Structure 1
Amino acid sequence: MPQDAKHQLLGRNRELETLDRLLREVREGRSRALVLRGEAGIGKSALLDHLAEQAASGRVGQLPPVRMQTVRTAGVEAESDFAYSALQHLCAPLLTHLDQLPQVQQDALRVAFGLSAGNAPEMLLVGVAVLGLFAEAATGAPLLCLVDDAQWLDLMSQRILAFVGRRLDAESVALVFAERVTDKQTEDGFSGLPALSIGGLGDAEARALLDAVLPGPVEARVRDRIVAETGGNPLALLELPRGLSAAELAFGFGGPGSAPLATRVEEGFRRRVEALPAETRTLLLVAAVEPVGDELLLWRALRLLEVGPDAAAPAQAAGLLNPGTPLRFRHPLVRSAVWHGADGATLLAVHAALAEATDADRDPDRRAWHRAHAALGPDEQVAADLERSADRALARGGRAAAASFLEQAAALSPDPSERARRALAAAQAYLKAGLPYRLPDLLAAAELGPLSPLQQADANRLRAKASAMTNSGLGAVQPLIDAARGLRDLDPAAARETCLAAFGAAIWAGRLDASGMRRAAEAARELPPSDDMGGVFLRALTAWSLEGPVAAFPLLEQALSTLTDDADLADMWPAANAAVELGDLQAWLSVTERAVGFARRTGAFSILSTALPYRAASLGYVGRLPEAWALLAEASATEEAAGAATSLVTTALLSAYRGRERSALDVIDAMERDGEQRGLGRLIGMAACSRAVLHNGLGNYPQAMESALRGMEYQDLVAYRWTCSELVEAASRADGAAAAAQARERLSDWSRAGTPWALGAHAVADALVGTADQAEDRYREAIAHFTDGGLDVFVARTRLLYGEWLRRQNRRAHAREELRAAHEACVTIGLEAFAERARRELLATGETVRKQTIGTPVLTPQEAQIARLVTAGHSNAEIGAQLFLSPRTVEWHLRKIFVKVGISSRRELDGALSAGER
């Protein structure tokens, strides 16, 4: 360990204990991820060095030595434009294990790393492949992965490594990041990972470190002032006194309002660089600008600049390069000081030399990048090279990198038309990369050049879509409508796709933009029709908005029938909403099953983050609540990586059905607040519906009626039907005859869809609100319809209502039969509040029934899901790919499952599972 690093470990007992514990746990078979956060120079790199030393020695505390593998990379500012740059460097020593991964994961990594051609892989698939690669590499010895300067990772490396860190479990892998934090930092790409904040040294340790580097004795008050000014930052304590006399130090390092500490340290390095010979400064600049670590390339460039190897010696003597490694900077701030302190002419010359020294066939992208930075002005040849680099980045799945190349290409395009075209392409790539905040400046630049009418319309569409990504509800509807109208005569297919997006935004805006659906429908009617899936959905939503839901039922059925190709599931929300609006649970189950399967096979992250919550909701109505909760747990991993919260609605609804009042209300209240803050009226409507479900289960009928009435103030697609059913039940018990009758009328309209769900809901409404002589027949009909539709939740609820009605008719024996069936079904499914309501009714019939607590299942949701997949015949690798776990973690969970259910083999598993877990 370098001497400076040893100094920086003074007073780090707390941090060292944490790191030693991490290594112990990894040696014992667990996996751990950790983010070390602190300002520049605080000692993060020294702590990573300590981890590497411990791993190399194999010793942790008093434990016997065990060999550990270490791989290491670092983010470099100059490399942040290159997709997978840091990730590929980290994984390179592990690629000997690549053949042990499933073929689809092998292909994804090979394409992402540019080792072979193929379809651009989705980020999620690459993430699962990296997770598997780490796990396979750790089978021989525990694996330590160290990532320094994580704030400078390229976007794809950052997202994938953060995803892997969240999914590590039982692979014997440690993934440790060191991330510099600044006052300007607004985003945290590693949220959700355990973090350790690294602060300054304590006073005693800081004074000891300062004494080691002071040029002579200074007064205690001066020493205390220096310690206070540096905040105990080890690098500042080591570097800032350098070159200053004791007299100069008497005034400290600066007064109030002086530059930030890291800036002052960097300035100190810059002064030392400026004092070096010109050839040495050039050598340092070449090393700073060429971050790959290819010394042969670097020396070729230096020869072109007429700089020899001897130029490194003064930099080593000045403490700017590590001894023995002539081209490795002592600290990242040295690289930054060299780069930012260089004069423009020298920097251009260095980039030109590196471009000439880079093999155009072996590394065309870095050659293009250096040529771009060496350009004195617009250059079409360089711009064209950058555009080809963007194409290669897209072929590897690096959308953000492609966008960056295109942005540079636009800036270097001499022709205004080409500049505008490339700026639009860059904006499109940034949008697909999930970086909408990058679009405004690019679109403004594009609009400075001559744009064709189609290009201008496309710019408007991109601006509207970027707005929708940052403000998905209230503010997104009209810009999308306007963009669709602008494309009507220029690109009808794009106009229809944009108009469908406007409908989606209007659905989410809900009551907060009450005319949004109508305005989108009026725009859709102006567009040329199409018989493809999107076109039919567009007509169906237009009819729903302008003519009423009944008029839309045939078109919704037709739209579902056009959903034949799995690729159509890329935008699955219209299909899922169509199925639920019709009350066709089987279609809903089919669409969501296909969408989840397609997303898992292809690694289509964007589809999966939406499909999992939709799938969970559909399973909830079937009565498969444990499986639904397991899917929601799985969805949390995709949501963390997507930065979205698509499962909030399903979580609130299932919490209401489970019936634990306090926890359910917490989730529902949070969803409502989120809707109000983000302009998402649909969340407000679903909050009202969920409260009505919860209070009906608890028997709080006046509160259920109040919630349902609020929900029906606006006709939300899908949610309105559900809320009508809740209102009929609540109002019929809370002296709300008029409200119940109105809801019954709406459900009568719904029954014209002819599906079991719609017919059953109407039959229940008739039984609750209609005449007494028809009630029994309608209850029986409802139970039959719900049974035919596979709606086990509503079968149980209707049996409960029927049993309650029978008891009021003094038909106690018959009532007991229905209530007993309802109680058993609610307990089995997990409808705790409805089960308690059925128990109370049974007691009222005179039957003795113990209160059944629906306890925690033997298996956790994740364990139950793994068990189901095992019984379905899937291998550990296949299960891991589906659940974003490594096969070793699947095996670890499987061993725990065997112990819990008392078996010893996979063959025995199906018989050992409870009904709920199956």
Structure 2
Amino acid sequence: MNATPLPSLVGRQRECTVLDDLLTAVRSGRSSVCVIRGEAGIGKSVLLAYAGAHASGTTTARAQGIEADMELAYASLHQLCGPFLGDVDGLPAPQRDALRVAFGIATGDPPDRFLVGLAVLTLLTRASETRPVVVLVDDAQWLDQVSLQTLEFVARRLLAEAVAMVFTVRDPEGAAALVGLPVLRLEGLDRRPAGALLDAVVEGRLDPRVRDRLVAETQGNPLALLELSRGRTATDLAYGGDPGDQRSVSTRVENDYASRLDALPEHTRTLLLLAAAEPVGDSDLLVRAAAILGVAPDPAPAAAAGLIELAEPIRFRHPLVRSVVYREATPDQRRAAHRALAESTDPVLEPDRRAWHAAQAADAPEEGVAGALEAAADRARQRGGVVAEATLLERAVDLTPDPGRRGRRALSAAEAYLSAAAPGRATGLATIADLCPLSALDRARLARLRAQVLFALNRSNEAAPLLLAAAAQFADEQSPLARETYLEAISATVFAGRVHGPHGARAAAVAAQTSGAPPSSSEASDLLLDGLATILADGRPQGIPVMHRALAALLDEEPVSRDAMVRWLLQAPVAQEAYSHQLWDFRAWSVLSARAVRLSREIGALGALPFALMFAAGVDFHRGDVAKAAQRIEEGFAISAATGHAPLTYASLVLTAWQGDEAATLPILEQARRSATEHGEVSLLGVSGYVKGVLYNGLGRFDLALAGAREGIDHDGFNFTGWALSEHIEAAVRCGETQVAAESLHRLTRRTDDAGTDWARGVRARCAALLDHEAADELFREALVRLDHEGIAIHVARTHLLYGEWLRSADQRDAARDQLRRAHEMFDRMRLTGFAERARLELAATGERTRVRDAAATGLTSQEEQIAVLAASGLTNPEIGAELFLSPHTVDWHLRKVYAKLRINSRRELPTALETAHPA
């Protein structure tokens, strides 16, 4: 553990005021978050200590990030939650179980990370009901990744709780950590306070010119000023300094610490090394390890040198001290320290830490240690720590003497890194595996991994042939992985946008059919492959029945092991493409997308999560929840950017097009065109055609809609063709191209009749109504019934609009007004302004005046609307909190604002208020 003494905080009055205000807020029941950022030695830890020292009347919880610590999933979070674990049994069962598994208290399936975050939020919230809670996290950039992500999740959801969180982050190392949270940035002290600090600690009168020089050289860094002047007189500083020293501040301070370390007795340096190598701060463990090395646990000389504070356990004076102690030791000394710590660590209670210390102690490959690391990696995987699994396996690779085992472990580590969205690390380990003797089966795994990395980085059309080659290798070995890989190959061809050609979807389908591959471990996966291959190779009439059987199996299959979840997530994208674009099955799309998001989060599969979020956003959007769809899209973009994966623009394109936002849509379309050209992601051309059709149909510019939708149907890819046909029909009718519209209707009918769902038949009926004036009324009514039964709000609104336009053209103004009014209200509520304006203009043509929506008229934010709707449906505050990953206190706080804005007094009034509140 590290600690910093609390001198007078010269020159930090502003910063202290910020922290004072934060503590005042939390004592009055308001949450606060602050991230203190700055370079090493700038005073972050001192300010954190200031906050802790002034947090009287609160419960304080602390966590410390340590660079040399291992990547044990949830280790730092476990440390922080220690004061609250007595209340863990009172958590809702799903949260309780998730937290127990995460902390290794119980065994079970990998915990949902969002459930773990919600459990921590609930623990802190409940503790704050009796006493405000202050969470202090030092050096957050060195926390294990999953703990950092969980604490960030909690920090972003604090609102109405008496909980404050203060983090320190060292820049530039932590530039990517906790981005977007409130920041208190520290710079060097100004000349006057920096000089005052020097005057306070230097013996004798300091020459002003020397003082100014020291301030300039240290750039006002307070730790540098204190440490470099420690024990020196004014005369020493005037004549003994080195004005030409241009090293960085942190380097100069570290060298000062190193010189003090060198002056200590050897047994004291050894004791400090044990403390630096053991980040938990277990005093008993430190004593046992010191005894093994024959060292007396006497830290007094180190305290006299200003490197530590005498406390239980030993506390380093600054994080840089710990780093210096560990760095200055020789490799043999570090290994001896870790060996003693490994021998002192309980193999039953702390097997993972024991394995890690043993690995750090090894100076040559040793199978026993490598095997223990592999077992620790497996336990990390079961807790949902994908990064920890990969890190432990990577170290096991270094310690494996047998080349064959080394290659297999390198391959497993590469697969884990890919799952953790670290394709660069995966590539490096794949290279190691490639240099080792591998079986034919492992060679196929390696080929598949390289293709997956290529697809993850840019969805290149080069991935599909590589996957097909790997699938053929698996088939030759009669491996059950063959069919899974053929399914991945078809998925890659779908994104490549190619149906025909030697590397197109049809070729992949034929290869799968003729491979002779044995069944995989999943009946649902096999049926899905059979259905897709039949549709692509033999035609829709033969393939659709198999796809329906596959759906039944997919819905019944709930993967329980992590490996099964990974396999399921690999097949999820192509399954959802099939059910949304080929079978028009909205229920299947909804169920599969929700499961994909849940599983991705449960096992921390950041590579799969952006795909899952994109498909889930599509479902939310079709249901009419545009705000939630936008949130999912934004989260998917953020994850892709953070992990280096190619962004998924499909859902964003569809959303902006339906919103009628030409200025936002066209740049994304141009980016999609460039991506299709540069990387071969030709499916973007198909979606671009559909998007142009939607955009310009909504804006009433039907000639552009006709040309755009034509691009989509000419592309004739696996996805979006059917959707583009419906846009093409509407645009063609409006442009007077009835023969063109009839041809597209014929193509659409072949697709929708095969599918047989209400979604398919509803869209087909609506499009047919545009061409069949005698049956139009009946067809529009059929479309409304079918689409409303499916719950596809955007198409219900679209049908009301087209029906109303037809009624107006038939001079049935009263009936037209009714349909157009409904269309306008629905589009307006969903903020689809292009179509809303089209409906408004049509209403005006019937003689009815409407007002443009004022988004702030009710005053409800999108989150308040979500909470209000859920509350109106009968959910309790804890249930709403679980649904939206908020604390019940925050839900209650939002509801009080909702009541005030809607001018109601109770939950019972919500349904009526939401139904009758006029947006204007």
Question: Under a length normalisation based on structure 1, what TM-score does the superposition of the two structures give?
Answer: 0.88
Deviation at 1:272, TM superposition (A): 1.4
Match of 1:630 in 2: 628
What SS is found at the alignment partner of 1:147?
strand
Match of 2:177 in 1: 189
Q: 1: distance between equivalents of 2:601 and 2:63?
A: 30
Q: Measured at CA, do residues 620 and 444 of structure 1 come closer, stay the same or move farther in structure 2, by a change above 3 Å? A: closer
**Aligned with 2:221 (options 225, 230, 233):** 233
Deviation at 1:220, TM superposition (A): 4.2
What SS is found at the alignment partner of 2:214?
helix
**Aligned with 2:414 (options 418, 427, 437):** 427
Match of 2:199 in 1: 211
What SS is found at the alignment partner of 2:136?
strand
Corresponding position: 1:154 with 2:141: no
Q: Give CA deviations for 1:777-821 in whole Å, capped at 9, x if unaligned.
A: 655665565456554543443443344345445565665565455
Q: Measured at CA, do residues 132 and 441 of structure 1 come closer, stay the same or move farther in structure 2, by a change above 3 Å? A: same
Deviation at 1:106, TM superposition (A): 1.1
**Conserved? CA contact 2:114–2:601, under 8 Å:** no
The correspondence of residues 126-165 of structure 1 with structure 2, limited to 5 A, is 126-165=116-155
**Unmatched 5+ stretches in structure 2:** 560-567
Match of 1:538 in 2: 529
What SS is found at the alignment partner of 2:30?
coil
Q: 2: distance between equivalents of 1:917 and 1:661?
A: 28
Corresponding position: 1:414 with 2:401: yes
Q: Give CA deviations for 1:809-866 in whole Å, capped at 9, x if unaligned.
A: 5565665565455445545665443343233334434x24333536455543323333
The correspondence of residues 613-692 of structure 1 with structure 2, limited to 5 A, is 613-621=614-622, 624-625=623-624, 627-630=625-628, 632-633=630-631, 643=642, 649-659=650-660, 680-683=681-684, 685-692=686-693
**Aligned with 1:399 (options 380, 386, 392):** 386
Moved more, 901-910 or 699-708: 901-910
Deviation at 1:584, TM superposition (A): 3.3
**Conserved? CA contact 1:582–1:755, under 8 Å:** no
What SS is found at the alignment partner of 1:442?
helix
Deviation at 1:49, TM superposition (A): 0.8
Q: Which amino acid aligns with 1:733?
A: R
Match of 1:118 in 2: 108
Match of 1:850 in 2: 850
What SS is found at the alignment partner of 2:364?
coil
**Conserved? CA contact 1:480–1:502, under 8 Å:** yes
Q: Which amino acid aligns with 1:717?
A: F
Deviation at 1:43, TM superposition (A): 0.6
Moved more, 719-728 or 475-484: 475-484
Corresponding position: 1:177 with 2:177: no
Q: Measured at CA, do residues 195 and 782 of structure 1 come closer, stay the same or move farther in structure 2, by a change above 3 Å? A: same
**Aligned with 1:465 (options 449, 452, 459):** 452
The correspondence of residues 325-474 of structure 1 with structure 2, limited to 5 A, is 327-474=314-461
**Aligned with 2:549 (options 551, 555, 558):** 558
Match of 1:318 in 2: 305
Deviation at 1:381, TM superposition (A): 2.3
**Conserved? CA contact 1:589–1:618, under 8 Å:** yes
Q: 2: distance between equivalents of 1:220 and 1:677?
A: 62
Q: 1: distance between equivalents of 2:269 and 2:200?
A: 29
Q: 1: distance between equivalents of 2:424 and 2:297?
A: 45
What SS is found at the alignment partner of 1:913?
helix
Match of 1:61 in 2: none
What SS is found at the alignment partner of 2:34?
strand
What SS is found at the alignment partner of 2:36?
strand
Q: 2: distance between equivalents of 1:197 and 1:672?
A: 41
Match of 2:281 in 1: 293
Q: Which amino acid aligns with 1:141?
A: R
Q: Measured at CA, do residues 771 and 681 of structure 1 come closer, stay the same or move farther in structure 2, by a change above 3 Å? A: same
Q: Measured at CA, do residues 75 and 792 of structure 1 come closer, stay the same or move farther in structure 2, by a change above 3 Å? A: closer
What SS is found at the alignment partner of 1:914?
helix
Q: 2: distance between equivalents of 1:917 and 1:495?
A: 57
Deviation at 1:329, TM superposition (A): 1.0
Q: Which amino acid aligns with 1:179?
A: V
Q: Give CA deviations for 1:281-300 in whole Å, capped at 9, x if unaligned.
A: 11211211122211122122
Match of 2:490 in 1: 503
Q: 1: distance between equivalents of 2:674 and 2:53?
A: 49
**Aligned with 1:269 (options 239, 257, 265):** 257
What SS is found at the alignment partner of 1:77?
coil
Q: Measured at CA, do residues 121 and 786 of structure 1 come closer, stay the same or move farther in structure 2, by a change above 3 Å? A: closer
Q: 1: distance between equivalents of 2:72 and 2:558?
A: 29
Deviation at 1:888, TM superposition (A): 2.0
Match of 2:558 in 1: 567
Match of 1:78 in 2: 68
Deviation at 1:566, TM superposition (A): 4.7
Q: 2: distance between equivalents of 1:647 and 1:170?
A: 35
Q: 2: distance between equivalents of 1:24 and 1:670?
A: 48
Aligned length: 898
**Conserved? CA contact 1:588–1:618, under 8 Å:** no
Moved more, 642-651 or 741-750: 642-651
Q: 2: distance between equivalents of 1:408 and 1:336?
A: 21
Deviation at 1:345, TM superposition (A): 2.6
Deviation at 1:178, TM superposition (A): 0.9
**Aligned with 2:96 (options 97, 102, 106):** 106
Deviation at 1:342, TM superposition (A): 0.8
**Conserved? CA contact 1:75–1:148, under 8 Å:** yes
The correspondence of residues 518-917 of structure 1 with structure 2, limited to 5 A, is 518-527=506-515, 528=517, 530=519, 532-546=523-537, 552-567=543-558, 570=569, 571-582=571-582, 584-588=584-588, 591-592=591-592, 595=595, 613-621=614-622, 624-625=623-624, 627-630=625-628, 632-633=630-631, 643=642, 649-659=650-660, 680-683=681-684, 685-734=686-735, 740=741, 743-753=744-754, 754-768=756-770, 770=771, 782-783=783-784, 786=787, 789-808=790-809, 819=820, 822-823=823-824, 826-827=827-828, 831-845=832-846, 847-853=847-853, 855-856=855-856, 859-914=860-915
**Conserved? CA contact 2:112–2:601, under 8 Å:** no
Q: Give CA deviations for 1:749-772 in whole Å, capped at 9, x if unaligned.
A: 32332334334444444454x576
What SS is found at the alignment partner of 2:54?
helix
Q: Measured at CA, do residues 830 and 203 of structure 1 come closer, stay the same or move farther in structure 2, by a change above 3 Å? A: closer
Deviation at 1:480, TM superposition (A): 2.9
Q: Which amino acid aligns with 1:524?
A: A
Corresponding position: 1:23 with 2:23: yes
Q: Give CA deviations for 1:861-914 in whole Å, capped at 9, x if unaligned.
A: 323333333344433323222211122222222333333334444344333332
Deviation at 1:52, TM superposition (A): 0.8
Moved more, 635-644 or 748-757: 635-644
Q: 2: distance between equivalents of 1:195 and 1:841?
A: 50
Deviation at 1:339, TM superposition (A): 0.7
**Conserved? CA contact 1:605–1:638, under 8 Å:** no
Deviation at 1:590, TM superposition (A): 5.1
**Conserved? CA contact 2:685–2:715, under 8 Å:** no
Corresponding position: 1:36 with 2:36: yes
**Unmatched 5+ stretches in structure 1:** 57-66
Q: Measured at CA, do residues 351 and 599 of structure 1 come closer, stay the same or move farther in structure 2, by a change above 3 Å? A: closer
Q: Which amino acid aligns with 2:902?
A: V
Corresponding position: 1:308 with 2:299: no
**Conserved? CA contact 2:28–2:162, under 8 Å:** yes
Q: 2: distance between equivalents of 1:892 and 1:825?
A: 28
Q: Give CA deviations for 1:628-662 in whole Å, capped at 9, x if unaligned.
A: 42354367568757858988544543443344555
Match of 1:59 in 2: none
Deviation at 1:27, TM superposition (A): 2.9
The correspondence of residues 47-62 of structure 1 with structure 2, limited to 5 A, is 47-56=47-56
Deviation at 1:165, TM superposition (A): 1.8
Deviation at 1:575, TM superposition (A): 3.7
What SS is found at the alignment partner of 1:37?
strand
Q: Give CA deviations for 1:542-587 in whole Å, capped at 9, x if unaligned.
A: 3444456566434433332332325267554344322222453443
Moved more, 154-163 or 385-394: 385-394
Deviation at 1:695, TM superposition (A): 2.1
Q: 1: distance between equivalents of 2:500 and 2:316?
A: 57
Deviation at 1:201, TM superposition (A): 1.2
Identity among equivalent positions (%) equals 43
Q: Measured at CA, do residues 283 and 803 of structure 1 come closer, stay the same or move farther in structure 2, by a change above 3 Å? A: closer
Q: Measured at CA, do residues 577 and 654 of structure 1 come closer, stay the same or move farther in structure 2, by a change above 3 Å? A: same
What SS is found at the alignment partner of 2:135?
strand
What SS is found at the alignment partner of 1:189?
coil
Deviation at 1:55, TM superposition (A): 0.8
